Every structure is written in structure tokens, then in C-alpha cells.
Structure 1
Amino acid sequence: MTIYDPDFYPHPLDSEGFLPAYCWRDKYLRAFSLAARSKHNWTEKVLDRTIVAKWFRKAERADNGNNGRYVLSWHKNDVQFVYEELLAYRKFVLEMREQGHKLEPHIDCVWKADGAIPEELRQALIKAVATLENVPEEKRDWHPGSKKQVLNLVHPSMWPLVYDASVDVTTGEEIEVEEGVEEWDMDIFDLKAREGWSNRFCWLPSEFEVSEDGKNTTIRSYVNNLSSLNQQELFYPILERIFTIFVPLFNCVLADLHQHRHECSKTKGPIGYAEPEDFLTREQHDEKFEEMMGQFERREELTVDFNQLGKRPCYKHSECMETGADCGKVDYSLQEYQLYPSREQGSLSMSEIWSPPVIKEEDQLEGRTLKVIVKMANIVLTPENPSYTGGSWHVEAMLNERIVSTGIYYYAQENITESELGFRRTFQYLFESETWTAAHDLDSGEGRMVQEIGRIVATEGRIIAFPNVYQHQVQPFELVDKTKPGYRKILVFFLCEPHETHNMPTTQTVAPQQPYDREQVLELLRQSKIGQLPEEIFQLIVEKLPPVISQELAEEYRRQLIAERSVFNKESQMVQGRTYSLYETDLGSSTL
């Protein structure tokens, strides 16, 4: 396995995994755009400036508090920028619809499509999955620690590749940890990245071959934990069709990563907040903001400049009031309650407006054989256990698998409140000052260097694809009717690094390790000409087959694998972010 190749897509556990921080202005522009594009029929509503002006008024009220203080938000440049960007999104989405595609961009590098999976295919998946669900209770695989809420149907942590135990069928030898990993040159590679590897386990991907025209996918090697002949016949045609529909979304994610859009900021600066010289009162601001909204609704040039309207603060304004003197200034004592300081929010360039990704040949999955890991799971709620408290922030797998993108199909749900998937990113802490943390909407004392960047609603029938450079977390939800059970069901495709030099083991080289698969193989051998050989010769042949892993040992391996990866996700700076503290002389102690 190649440890690193400059052509690889970004991975969260690479040593350069920390991204630039979003400043406050950047964050409220992104939040507004996402909220607008999440509204029903937004492509039509965005053309009605009266409606959009209402959105701006609501956003201004929500966005005037930054890091515990009132700040001036929503300048004329902000309004112009985000509206032009919404029109750019609209143009792309409508063009896609005209071409028969339903994909839409969400936050940067995250893509979604509603209703892209035909209903007959969704029903076929539901019917097939029922064969995995309808088993005796003692055979149900409740995820460890989930309080019987997460039901694993197909999970890659069961019967994974076990280094020094799993056998390569092409050589007959046990698969060892890569020498390059064990002997990592610390002078070249960062210690943090080294700890992104497992010396014990690796999920086993299948080989998915996508046709040149992208209209078909063929599963060329078995899906781990879904490998019996009956399961292959039932599930693989369904999975192949669904994965084919995911390909355009994965292409967009890869193109976004190739263009480093996960690193891009819409604003430049600021380094920090300087103490403001001028202030606006709430009355002044509201009057001028309404004037600007009127200009926007009438499609006029926006001329209101808040930075030119402020006045100097008067620190002894009560004395001025007593003497009746008109100092021409504003009362500084009201700063925290009524005044909007005129602060530098960072420069904004129209060149940073969103544009469709340029999907180059190297980003296209058509005509390639891919390494894909499949997972299926249900979250099940009952009147006795009616609330799901949410998952942990994590990235998928480790550098062994090098998953670059995740695709999720929310194919069925019943009697649950709105469910969301949250995203966040680690960032670089550049300046150890309170003004820098204030400008980036961070706690002024100490904290983790992570920023939440948005959420996506997990509506039934929706498919999404997102990069693994973002951490993600399932948000809490609960039963709507507490007297009835409810559920949410997902199908997941983990896309491993598609570059050809990422030659990790797959199910093409590792035979099924499940005992029930071995029983099926033996039955087939008995029915073949090999079964007609003398018994002692038949047994000699059977002894040459790769070893299987018992159910008990597989569960123990899973426990160890989950523990290893849970600890890593919990303690890794590249997942949880470095710590910063304004109370110390450094950036805080290492968590690795």
C-alpha cells in the first residue's frame, strides 16, 4: 500500500489537515446562503426581492451579536454578495434539472439529491433489507454501547482484515502491516499522521466497476458481511443501481476537494478587531438598514455605507446632558446594549462567489474500478427508549482505508422528529489574542480549534455525499408519537482513495472469513467434481482454504477495533482540534 501520494485527495488524518478559520462575517454569509437554499421552492422565492428582504431583516437581527457584543453586520457588500451567490446557485440547479439531474450543492463540498432514487428501487431495497431485519432477537447485532438503538445490518467492523491473521488468496500468505507504515520516517512525516494508522485492523472494501458512460456499476468482488450467494443475488443488483446514482455526487465532491474548496474563505481577514473609533445607535442603524432594504427591493444601487455614519463615543456623556451641551457624539455607556461599533470585518470579493466545480477527467469515477465499503444500519426508537441523544463527532476509519468521501441514502424513516447530520472542521489558530478569537466568533478564554459549518436534514429519500475532511455527527431526534415505535434507516457507501496507487487489500484478495460462508463453500465443493474425490484428498484440499474467524472472535475483534478508533477520534487533534488558551503562553497541551 502506498503511504502517501501527492495525487491523493485530502484526508482528515494527513499531517496538514488543519484549515483556515472562518471569520464571523464569513460564517453569517454562509449561514444565510444555506438557510435560503434549504427553503421549500427556494429557486422561485429567491427571485422575489420582497421575500428575500424579509430573510435579510431576520438575519440581521440574529447576526448582530458576535462573541458577546453587538457588531455591525450585513453591509451593502454582504447583501450584494450573498444575493448574487444565490442566483449563481439557482442557475446551476435549474441547469441540472433541465438535464434530468436532481443534485444540488449544500455547504462547500457537500452535495445532495432528493428523489434521485426511483421509488421501485427504494421499495426493492426495503424488501431486501427485511431479510436482514427479520431474524431472531439473539441474532440481532445491536451496536455496542447504543442501548439497543442502533441495529447493525451490514457493518465493516465485523470480520475486517486482521493483520497477521487474514490471508491473501493470491499468495496464501498472511497479510502483514505495511513495512512502510511500521518504519515511518519521522523526519518526513508528522507523528500525528503516523498515529492515524492501525497496526491491527482494516475495513475490507469491495471492488465496484463503473462503466465508461457512468450508466452502470458492477460489483466485482463480494461485499463484506453480505457475501452469501443468496445475498449476492438479492442485494447486488440493487446496490449497483443505487451506487450508479451516487457517482455524479461523488464526482462533485472529488472536484471540490481537487480545487481545495474545503479550504476556501469568502473573506480575507481580519487578523483581529481593532478598538472601534465610531459607533452607531440602534435607531441610526435600523433607519439606514431599512433604507438599504428598500433600495434592494426596488433593485436600486445600494448606497448606504454604515462605516460613514458612525460617531465618536463620548465617555462623559452624562455631563454633556446635564450642561445641555451638544457634543455631537454618542453615549459610550450604552455600548453593550444599544450601539453597533463600526469594525473591520475583513474584505469581501465578488470573485469568491460560488461557482460550479470543474470536474476534470481525474475526478470522474466513470470507467474506473473503485474500492467501496458498504454499511447498512437502522436507528430504532421505542416508547421505552424514545430519544436518540446523538452521535459523536468523528471522521470515517483511518489512514489504512483512506476514505475520502461518504455517501448516505436515507431510504426509510417513520415516526421521528427532524433528523440532521452536522458538519465541522478543524482550523489553524494563527494569533493568540482576544481580538482574533472575537473576529472568528470563538470563546475568548480557551477552547478547541473546531468550527461547526452547517447541518443537513436527513429527509426520507435524500442522498448526500460529503468529504471525510469534515467531521460529522448525527444530531439528536426522538419519537413524534411516544406511544409508537419509530426508526431511521440508512445505506452508506464509503469511497476509498480512488487513485490507482492506493492499492489496499480488497475482498478480491481476502476470501470471506465468516463461518457461514465457509459452510456454503464446502457444500458447493461437495456438489462439484472435487466432492467425488476420496475423503482424505477432499480434506487436504479443504485444509488449504483460508481460515475463518468464529462469531465469538469476530465480535472480540470488533470490540477492539471500535475501542481503537473511538479513542483515536476522541483524542486526535486532527479530529477534535488542538486546544487554545488565552490564559497560557502557548496554544495548550497536546492531546496526542
Structure 2
Amino acid sequence: MSNPPELPEFPSPFNFINNVPITLVELRMRNFSGQIREKPRWWEKVHDADIVAKWRSEIIEQDEKVVEQFWGGEKRFDDGNGEKKWPREKITGAQLDYIFDELKDLAQAIDHETGIQRTAIDKVYQSKTLIPADLKTVFLSGVSILESVPPEEQDWHPGANDQVLDLVHPSLHCFRIGRSPVLIPERTSGCPDPLFVLTEEQYLEMREDAEGAIVSQFISTNYQWLPTDFEVSQPGRRLYSNITSILQRFLPLFERVLSDSSDPPPPLAVAANPGGWYEDEESESDLSDDEMDARWRKFHWPVIHDPAPFSPPTQEGRTPLSLNGRKLQVIIKLANIVLTPERPKYPGGSWHVEGMVNEEIVATGIYYYASDNISESKLAFRAAVGDGTDEAGVSWNYEQSDDRGWTVAFGLRQWRSMNQELGSIMATEDKSSLGRGRYSAFSLSTRRGPSSRRATFPAATIVVPRRAGKVPALRALPQEIWDMIMQYALAGTVSLEEAKQDRLALMEERSHFVIEHNREIFEVEFNMCEH
């Protein structure tokens, strides 16, 4: 049996990628397209002329309200201070045509067996029917064992206001660099000490992916998440096998996301030219300076053109990726977000990526297996733009201090962070989704009755598939060597209390990392200086 082909390099959130910004016009189109894709059986309804006419009317009405909010009245002649993230002009017929022509094309690509479909956000997929009802029922039965432990054994996530109940989390019993013993296979032959504790230097030597000035800032020399292990007692064995079954259902989602991540990005629907988006104006030599300023304020605005008519994207240069025959590393989180009348609101999550360089996570999947009595919740996404410098890269053609143009075109502005919010998807029961995002705030729908629970995971984060592991695994060994290893291994075990202390230290380290990573990658300020 031949080995699977070598996988390509996947983009890393710890390296700069010269992302071209998306116009607000296109982001608006994607926003409305995403709303349609959340509707039941939209792939059938999009071919019904009466329904489409109704949807177009609703989009026009909704857009008018948002345009009025940001650009109505005198605000139409004020480019704001970075808060304007919606186009200045109302949505056009050409933009609506593009939305619905694209939806008709996407409707043909839905996998009706799994329910997998593209969202309106690049490299993000979802399904509302991925997990069969019978698998969900058995899975919930297994989860109930973890949920029904005595209160003193419940593991409330530190710093989460007793609202996040961890059932499985990789921060507990993590790999401790310089302290956790590992088996180095080449040391077992004729070596009296088969277990080995890697020093920080030895660990970093094994991590070729940690080289580089930027990446080296984002690697931990203290901790690393591992594929989560939890005690598999006889009643718990069923849960373990069911998580495996759920992950198996997720494989087509992972394959699609990884294929998109390694392929060239699709062309944007709406192009904008910063060097030519102002129309030439006739000089009015007889006007005073004040009159010229008033004229400039009223008429000097960038023109963002409509998209060309939609045409199906070419598949040239795109290679479907298969995970068949590969060893995968998966980090599992299993958690409940619990709201009560005493704590009825969840504030939402912060912008962050999963893990650090240590984990080398390339995709994250989420299965919402239960949801009850909560308000609408969403999973939001954003992307850094530019090349990581405050001048955004030489490929960006801009006029010095053109705040007006960049605000209207992209929602970007001088001395503001160079990132764009790409949109969000609904977080509802039974939905499975794949991508990296941030949870919005939500609350109890009603404060009557007992506490309400929202189970939001398992979240499975998949590590770069081609690497067997950054921490060598135990192999099949003769019994006498196994007994000897167990003696050494027991010396390296930690108590639950010590594991919780390590978790707090890991969380503290990663909270600082999130701040630094956002500052260095996602929140670099746009200088817009002279080239």
C-alpha cells in the first residue's frame, strides 16, 4: 500500500500573509448571502422567483436602515473615526443579482448526504445534519456521565464566572516542557533509562516550525496541549467511541477547509483601485478656499464599482485534499456554557486563535450538541490584512492620509488596526461548523424556571496532519520493558491539584500571548505614510 502524497504547507496564523482587504460592498454582499444560507432549505427556495423577490425586498429594506444609521443626513459627508463598517451607497440591483446567481450555483454543490455547505466566509463550512440523531442520542447519554458528577468534582473553567463547565479540556494534564517524561524510541535499545525529559533547548531543536523572528514570539517554552486523554472506565468507553464517530463525520469538513487553505484564494467579486477611485474634478478657479473645501467635502468621495456578473469559479489549480491513510492529531474540548437566573448573560469570547505555535493547529471544528432557552448566538470571524508592517506592504497603492477613501472602500483608516471582520454564522443546536472564530455574547431567553444550559462543544482542533507528533508516543513494547517504563512513568505523574496549578500557569501565559499576538498580527496600525 503506497503512502499518501505529501501535503502542502498550510498558512499559519503566526506568520504574516499579505492579505488584500475586501471592499465593504463585497462584505455586505457576503453578509446578506450568509443570512440566506442560514434559512431552511434555501438551496431549493433560491430557485423560486416569488421567494427570491421577497428576499431581495427584505435585503433592500434592511440595507437602507444600516446605510441611514452610518451615512444618513449630514453623516453622509463625514467619514467618521473608524466606526463606519458599511458601504456609503445603498445596495444595487447588480449586487443583488450577483448574490442570488452565486447562491444558485452554490445550491448545486451542497452535499445532501452530510448537509455540508460553504458559508459566506472563506474557509468556513457548516452543516445542520452532519451528526445523525441516533449518534447524538448515544453521545448525550455518554456526556451525561461526565455532567452528573458530584458538585465538588465539577471542573468550572477558571476565570469564567462559574459559567463554563469543562468536561474535557487540554489545559488540564498538559505536556510540561522540561518536566514531563517522554519515550524517545531510539533510546530504548540498550539504554537503562528509556524515559527522557526534554530540556527547553532540546524541545526547541525538535521544533523546526518555531524558527523565525515572528513565530518564535508565539511558542511556549513551558506547556503544550496534547490530544486529550481522559479515564476510560467501562461506562465511559461508550463516550470515547462516540467522540471518535463524531470526528469521523467531521473528516469531509476538515478536508474541505484544508483544501481551501492550501489552494490559491479565489478572486474578489468587487475590485477597488485606491489610486484611481476618485473621479477627476474640473477646477473651479473662481471659488474661494472655503467654497473649495465645501465642494470637496460634498463631492470628493471614492467610487466603488459594481461586481461583474457572476460566473462559476474555475477549478484550475485546485487540488482536493484527502486525509485517507494519514495519522491525525486531534485536541478535544468538551464544555457546557451554563446560564442561570442569577448569571443570565454570557459576555462572549475574545478574539484569539486556538493554541500557540506548539500545537500547530490548522483547523477547528465545533458541534453544538445541546442548546436550550438562550438568545441568538453567533460565531464571528475576522482576518488580518496587509503584510504585517504599518505601511501595509508595497503592493497597496494608496494616497498619503487618504482616510476618506479607505474608510468608504474597506472600513480601514489611518492609525486603526489593519483587520476586517468577515461576518458570522449562527451557533444553533445540531450545527457543526469548521473554522476559527469568536463567540458573541448571549443570554437566557427567559429567566423563569431552573438554570438553562448550552453545551457548545466538542471542539476538535486538528494539528498539521503529516506530522506524527511533536511529543513521541509510546509504542508496542515487550512486557519487561513496559514494566520498567511504568516505574519511571509513575515518577513523572502529577496530582490533580498540581495539574490545576499548571493549568492556571498555562492560562496566564496564553492570556498574555493573545494580547501580544493580536497586537503583532491582527492589530497593527495603518500608518498610511508617504511611500
Q: TM-score range by the shorter chain?
A: 0.7 to 0.9
| Counterparts of 2:352 and 2:422, CA distance in 1 | 15
The offset of 1:580, in angstroms, is 2.7
1:473 aligns with 2:466: no
Closer, same or farther in 2 for the Cα pair 1:6/1:440, shift >3 Å? farther
Which residue does 1:544 correspond to in 2? Answer: 488
Mapped partners of 1:19, 1:231: distance in 2: 49
Structure 2 residue matching 1:488: 3-state secondary structure: strand
Code of the residue aligned with 1:241 in structure 2: it is S
**In the TM superposition, what whole-angstrom CA distance separates every residue of 1:65-111 from its partner, at most 9, and x where no partner exists?**
67753733434542332232111111212xx22xx231111121111
Candidates 115, 118, 138, aligned match of 2:132: 118
1:143 aligned residue: 157
CA pair 189-52 structure 1, distance change in 2 beyond 3 A: same
Please tell me the residue identity of whatever aligns with 2:502: Y
Q: Provide the C-alpha distance between the structure 1 equivalents of 2:345 and 2:314, rounded to a whole number of angstroms.
A: 40
Q: Which of 559, 564, 588 does residue 504 from structure 2 map onto?
A: 559
* 434-443 vs 115-124, which moves further: 434-443
CA shift, 1:181, in A, is 3.5
Of residues 242, 251, 265, the one that matches 2:268 is 265
| Gap regions ≥5 residues in structure 1 | 206-222, 279-310, 317-331, 511-528, 531-537, 588-592
Q: What amino acid is the match of 1:38? A: E
Aligned to 2:190: none
Quote the offset at 1:142 in angstroms: 0.9
Match of 1:104 in 2: 117
Residue 269 of structure 1: how far off its partner (Å):
2.2
Could you tell which deviates more after superposition, 394-403 or 236-245?
236-245
Would you say 1:494 and 2:457 are equivalent positions?
no
Within the alignment, does 1:192 sit opposite 2:214 as a pair?
yes
Q: State the 1:150 CA deviation.
A: 0.6
Change (3 A) 1:481 1:249: same
Superposition deviation, residue 496 in structure 1? 0.4
Residue aligned with 1:446, SS? coil
Question: 1:240 aligned to 2:247?
Answer: no
Paired with 2:483 and 2:135, the residues of 1 have a C-alpha distance of: 43
Task: Tell me, in whole angstroms, the C-alpha distance in 2 between the residues paired with 1:179 and 1:395.
Answer: 26
Task: Give distance in 2, aligned partners of 1:38 and 1:349.
Answer: 25
Counterpart of 2:303 (choices 344, 354, 365) is 344
- Higher share of residues assigned strand: 1
Match of 1:296 in 2: none
Distance 2:438 2:216 in 1: 25
**Residue number in structure 1 paired with 2:515:** 570
Change (3 A) 1:540 1:38: closer
* Residue 369 (str. 1) matches residue 327 (str. 2): yes
Q: CA offset at residue 238 of structure 1? A: 0.4
CA distance in 1 between counterparts of 2:164 and 2:276 reads 46
Q: Aligned partner of 1:13: which letter?
A: F
Q: Does 1:381 align with 2:404?
A: no
Question: Structure 2 length normalisation: TM-score?
Answer: 0.79
After the TM superposition, which residues 163-562 of structure 1 pair with which residues of structure 2 at under 5 Å, given as runs? 163-169=177-183, 170=185, 171-177=194-200, 179=202, 181=204, 190-205=212-227, 223-224=228-229, 226-230=230-234, 233-261=237-265, 265-271=268-274, 274-276=277-279, 343-345=302-304, 348-350=307-309, 360=319, 363-428=321-386, 429=392, 430=396, 431=398, 433=401, 434-442=403-411, 444=413, 446-466=415-435, 468=436, 472-484=437-449, 485-489=451-455, 490-500=457-467, 503-505=469-471, 508=474, 543-546=487-490, 547-562=492-507
The aligned counterpart of 2:10 is 9
Counterpart AA for 1:161: F
Partner of 1:91: 108
Matched position secondary structure for 2:109: helix
The answer as to whether partners of 2:361 and 2:461 remain within 8 angstroms in 1 is yes
Instruction: Tell whether the 8 Å contact from 2:329 to 2:469 is kept in structure 1 after alignment.
Output: no
Structure 1 Cα separation of the partners of residues 144 and 434 of structure 2: 25
Distance 1:464 1:184, change over 3 A: closer
Do the aligned residues in 1 keep the contact of 2:371 with 2:454 (CA within 8 Å)? yes
Name the structure 2 match of 1:33. Answer: 33
Paired with 2:357 and 2:305, the residues of 1 have a C-alpha distance of 36
For residue 69 of structure 1, give the secondary structure of its aligned residue in structure 2: helix
CA-based RMSD: 3.8
CA positional deviation for 1:413: 1.2
Corresponding pairs, count: 478
Indicate conservation of the 8 Å contact 1:270/1:439, yes or no.
Answer: no
What is the CA–CA distance in structure 1 between the aligned matches of 2:376 and 2:127, rounded to whole Å?
Answer: 18
**Aligned-pair CA distance for 1:265:** 2.9
Is residue 131–residue 249 contact of structure 2 (8 Å, CA) maintained in 1? yes
Task: Kindly state the Cα deviation for residue 491 of structure 1 after the two structures are TM-superposed.
Answer: 0.9
Query: What amino acid sits opposite 2:42 in the alignment?
Result: W
Structure 1, residues 509-548: CA drift from partner, whole Å, max 9, x if none?
79xxxxxxxxxxxxxxxxxx99xxxxxxx99885333520
Report the CA distance between 1:341 and its aligned residue: 7.8
Change in 2 beyond 3 A, CA 1:151/1:240: same
C-alpha distance 575-199 of structure 1, shift in aligned 2 (>3 A): same
How many Å apart are 1:503 and its aligned residue? 3.5
**CA distance in 1: counterparts of 2:514 and 2:485, whole angstroms:** 43
Q: Cα gap change, 1:545/1:119 in structure 2, threshold over 3 Å: closer, same or farther?
A: same
